């Protein structure tokens, strides 16, 4: 882990530090450069690297290697899924109100009608609404993420799948945040397509995958040499893919210890709530290493800056907005627009320690008290 250990890094939902196994695989692949489409010995060796990683990523979610298409990351995987569903004849798109911008923005420009699946106060999808919406004639693409990137709330994907399949529609699952943090069974969830990203689970940035089930036909997104079984042209990112595979292989071994972070998360939540903070999504099942909370009147950007000065790195909501800090759309969808400008996300991962979570709490509470003291002075 390259981050200075005098600092605390609790922003794994933005990017996880590179796992040692992934680093080793990355460097090993870089030392043997070759095009996996070449037929000579070096090319065949590179092809073996790619196909071994494909099997490792498939195993992470319980699918055969042939179900995995490598892409540049979660954003492209989501876009490829939406494009493929459109090519397969879906007539409308239903997206949950808490989907990542990668899904929201791609749906908006798809040219298809877009409906918003509401969530409850904990951020959980309203399946009764979905059931009614699916009664409308016309095959639908339903996009429901497995775990929310801001709150960590886990969605009832398998239950949604039963509804979607009963209406002969298509279910796409953005599992970018869930992969490597909880066990995933693609078939058990009933997904048709699923997006994954290497850098969220300890692989490098710039590589991801779209997993497709037997009911889904993946369309060609970019044209050229016919790589990735004709689904995505362009020479594969061999080193990145090798590291992705290594991270996918290592991640399940740490799930039990990662689950223990739920205790550290809850201990921090207890401290914060005692001082007036509001924990978001706590009434739902969540990723064990994700905590989203808000201190009313304490702006998200100010919180991030104060913690950073104290050596603690966290995020204000999603970290995929080109460095911008804005009111959380997810929190607004949960009916807490009053707290949306103040939401903060703390997310641990494979190298986090209990001391990290404690230091984060110490730093936030100290800043919270300073803000309170200033308010009293002004009053």
Report the catalytic residues.
320
**Strands of the sheet with 68-71, listed across from one edge:** 68-71, 208-212, 193-197, 170-174, 140-143, 92-96, 114-117
Please tell me the total number of residues recorded for the chain in this structure.
379
- In angstroms, the CA 71 to CA 237 distance is 9
Q: Where are the beta strands (DSSP E) in the chain?
A: 8-9, 68-71, 92-96, 114-117, 140-143, 170-174, 193-197, 208-212, 278-279, 290-294, 312-313, 343-347
Sign of the Cα torsion 46, 49, 55, 57 reads negative
> Phi/psi zone of residue 123: left (φ > 0), alpha (ψ -120 to 50 degrees), beta?
left
Q: How many CB atoms lie within 10 A of CB 356?
A: 20
- 354-378 and 255-274 helices, crossing angle to 10°: 20
Whose tokens are 């986090």? That residue is 352
Output the DSSP codes for 346-379: EE--TT--HHHHHHHHHHHHHHHHHHHHHHHHH-
Is the separation of the CB atoms in 69 and 228 below 8 Å? yes
CA distances from 56 to 20, 71, 112, 133 (A): 16, 15, 35, 37
Task: Provide the 3-class DSSP secondary structure of residue 315.
Answer: strand
* DSSP letter, residue 295: -
């Amino acid at each position: 882990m390259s981050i200075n250990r005098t600092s605390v890094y609790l922003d794994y939902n933005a990017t996880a530090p590179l796992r040692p196994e992934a680093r080793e695989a990355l460097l090993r692949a870089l030392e043997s450069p070759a095009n996996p489409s070449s037929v000579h010995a070096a090319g065949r060796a590179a092809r073996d690297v790619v196909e071994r990683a494909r099997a490792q990523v498939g195993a992470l979610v319980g699918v055969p290697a042939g179900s995995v298409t490598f892409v540049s990351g979660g954003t492209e995987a989501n876009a490829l899924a939406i494009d493929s569903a459109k090519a397969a004849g879906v007539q409308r798109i239903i997206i949950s109100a808490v989907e990542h911008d990668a899904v929201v923005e791609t749906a908006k420009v798809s040219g298809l009608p877009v409906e918003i699946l509401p969530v409850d106060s904990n951020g959980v999808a309203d399946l009764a609404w979905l059931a009614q919406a699916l009664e409308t004639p016309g095959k639908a693409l339903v996009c429901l993420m497995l775990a929310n990137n801001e709150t960590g709330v886990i969605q009832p994907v398998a239950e949604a799948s039963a509804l979607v399949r009963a209406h002969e529609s298509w279910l796409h699952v953005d599992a970018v945040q869930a992969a490597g943090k909880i066990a995933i069974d693609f078939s058990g969830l009933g997904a048709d397509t699923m997006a994954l990203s290497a850098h969220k689970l300890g692989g490098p940035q710039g590589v991801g995958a779209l997993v497709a089930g037997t009911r889904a036909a993946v369309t060609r997104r970019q044209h050229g040499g016919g790589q990735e079984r004709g689904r995505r042209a362009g020479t594969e990112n061999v080193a990145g893919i090798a590291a992705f595979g290594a991270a996918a292989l290592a991640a399940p071994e740490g799930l039990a210890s990662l689950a223990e972070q739920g205790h550290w998360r809850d201990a921090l939540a207890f401290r914060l709530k005692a001082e007036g903070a509001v924990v978001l999504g706590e009434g739902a099942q969540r990723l064990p290493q994700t905590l989203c909370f808000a201190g009313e009147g304490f702006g998200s950007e100010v919180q991030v800056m104060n913690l950073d000065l104290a050596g603690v790195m966290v995020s204000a909501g999603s970290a995929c907005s080109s460095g911008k800090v804005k009111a959380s759309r997810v929190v607004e969808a949960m009916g807490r627009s009053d707290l949306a400008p103040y939401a903060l996300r703390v997310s641990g991962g494979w190298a986090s320690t209990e001391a990290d979570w404690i230091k984060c709490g110490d730093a936030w509470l100290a800043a919270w008290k300073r803000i309170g003291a200033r308010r009293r002075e002004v009053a």
